[in-house]
Structure 1
């Protein structure tokens, strides 16, 4: 039986730059049940995001918006937008590890 991922629970999982120094990812969940899974702090928290994206846990901000079934996650970009080492100027591919996260 295939494992369920956050992408399976969502209408959309996306990422974008939030200025030259931050990345924002958004989970738009299909319903309240999916939101409860994604918003569960024992499942999706700063430690998990820090491990997925190799960023400092203390810099991660998670916003849970139950009225919209949305979870928003922001953290500093590993390299500033447009810098020589920037491989994704618009942060448009950062959401993939989050979308593939297997839910319990």
Structure 2
């Protein structure tokens, strides 16, 4: 078993709006071999994501692996609606930092 950082295995890690009440996180892996290993081990799952972002697991709406693109997507309930008072990232494009730092054994 080896230790990995997600940012070393992915070519893209990003976040963005998925409407005013949801955020979507995308991870596109560098190669299919790594993608399949991560997918099959379910390294990124609802429980892990909820813990990483300190949100209830019920706020994880979807965790989807998409084989043709060697990618996965997580959609969550946005803590504060886009553009609402107190919200600091209207486009949701700055929420991926915890995911970039995610480390795991595989």
Q: Same fold by TM-score, threshold 0.5 exceeded?
A: yes
In the alignment, structure 2 segments of 5+ residues that lack a partner are none
C-alpha displacement of 1:32: 1.4
Residue of structure 2 in register with 1:44 after alignment: 44
Residue of structure 1 in register with 2:92 after alignment: 91
- Deviation by residue 1:49-96 (Cα, 9 ceiling, x = unmatched): 111112221231100011210000100100111111111111111111
In the alignment, structure 1 segments of 5+ residues that lack a partner are none
Query: What are the within-5 Å matches in structure 2 for residues 49-60 of structure 1?
Result: 49-60=49-60
Residue of structure 2 in register with 1:28 after alignment: 28
Normalised by the length of structure 1, the TM-score is 0.88
Normalised by the length of structure 2, the TM-score is 0.87
CA distance in 2, matches of 1:102, 1:33: 18
CA distance in 2, matches of 1:5, 1:101: 6
Runs of 4+ in 1 over 3 A off after TM superposition: none
Question: How many residues are matched?
Answer: 101
CA RMSD of aligned residues (A): 1.4
CA distance in 2, matches of 1:38, 1:14: 17
Between Structure 1 and Structure 2, the one with more strand by share is: 2
CA distance in 2, matches of 1:15, 1:38: 19
